[in-house]
Amino acid sequence: MKVLVVGASRGTGARIVAELARRGHLVTAYSRGAGEADRPEGVRPVAGDVLDPDALGKAMVGQDAVVVALGISDNPFRVRLTRRASSPLDVRSRGTRAVVDAMAEHGVRRLVVQSTYGIGETYAHLPLALKAFFTLAIRPQVDDHERQERLVRGSGLDWTILRPVVLNDEETTAPVWVGTDDRVATMSISRHQVARVAADALEGTDAVGRVLSLSAVAAG
C-alpha cells in the first residue's frame, strides 16, 4: 500500500512512518522539516507545508491512503500565554481540511487521523487533573481538535479517528486497549502502540467510520 503520512517528522507521525515501512508499505513522509536523516529504508521524505495546496497535491498523487498526525510540539503553557507556536494554532483543522480537499481531488479515500482522548464525550472520563489541563492549558488546541474531528466525520471519506490518551516514547510490544465505547483502561500509551493501531486500521476495514479510544492495557 502507498501511504502518505502528514506530520511525519516527529512524535507519533514518525513512529507511524517507521511502523508502516516495517510492514512493507511504501511511505511518503510529508513534513516541513523532511530530510534523509533517520528515515527507515524505503521511506520517501517530502518537505512541504500542509497548508501549501500545490505541494500537498503533488505528494498526494498515486497514494492509496493518508494518515494525519498533525500537532503543535511547543510547550503548551507557553503557547497558551503567548498565543504563539512554531505551527499555526489551528494547524490540525486547517491542515486536515487541506488533506481532505487534496484527497477528494486525487481520488484517495482511506484516511486515518490522530486526535486525542478527552475530545467530545470522552472528556467526561478524564481524571480531574487532566480536565484542568485541557481547560487551562490547551483549550484552544482542544477546540481545534473538535473542529478537526467534525471535518473528518463530514468528509465523505473512509475515515478512522484515533483518540490516544497521554502519550509517551516507551518502546514496547505490549498489547493496546482499543475501545469503541469511549472507555480506556489506563491514562497512558506509547507512541509505538498508537503506530501499530494506525497500521492495523489501514490494513483492514473494521475500523472504517469508527472513533477508537486507545490506551495501554492495565497491568495485572
- Per-residue DSSP letter, 217: P
C-alpha cell at 200: 492495523
Mean pLDDT over residues 49-62, rounded? Answer: 96
72 pLDDT band, cuts 50/70/90, is: confident
- In this structure, the number of other CB atoms found within 10 A of the CB of residue 218 comes to 9
C-alpha cell at 154: 463530514
Contact between 206 and 166 under an 8 Å Cβ cutoff? The reply is: no
Contact between 152 and 6 under an 8 Å Cβ cutoff? The reply is: no
DSSP track, 155-181: S-SEEEEEEE-EEE-------EEEESS
Q: Which CATH number fits domain 2-216: 3.30.70.890, 2.60.40.10, 3.40.50.720, 3.30.2230.10?
A: 3.40.50.720
pLDDT tens for 154-177 read 999 999 999 999 999 999 999 999
pTM of the model: 0.93
Q: Give the residue, 79 or 206, on which the prediction is more confident.
A: 206
Q: How far apart are CA 152 and CA 97, in angstroms?
A: 8
- Per-residue DSSP letter, 138: S
C-alpha cell at 86: 512554531
Q: Where are the domains of the chain?
A: 2-216
Contact between 176 and 214 under an 8 Å Cβ cutoff? The reply is: yes
Residue 90, pLDDT above cutoff 80: yes
Mean pLDDT over residues 47-71, rounded? Answer: 96
- Write down the pLDDT at residue 192: 97
pLDDT tens for 102-118 read 999 999 999 999 999 99
pLDDT tens for 4-42 read 999 998 899 999 999 999 999 999 999 987 655 556 777
- Per-residue DSSP letter, 185: S
What is the rounded end-to-end Cα distance, in angstroms, of the chain?
37
Q: Give the residue, 54 or 88, on which the prediction is more confident.
A: 54
Contact between 83 and 137 under an 8 Å Cβ cutoff? The reply is: no
- Write down the pLDDT at residue 219: 79
Distance of CA 60 to the CA centre of its chain: 17
Mean pLDDT of all residues belonging to the chain = 91
- 188-216 in b/e burial notation, b at 16+ Cβ within 10 A? ebbbbbbbbbbbbbbeeeebeeebbbbbb
- Write down the pLDDT at residue 10: 87
pLDDT cut 90: percent of the chain above it? 80
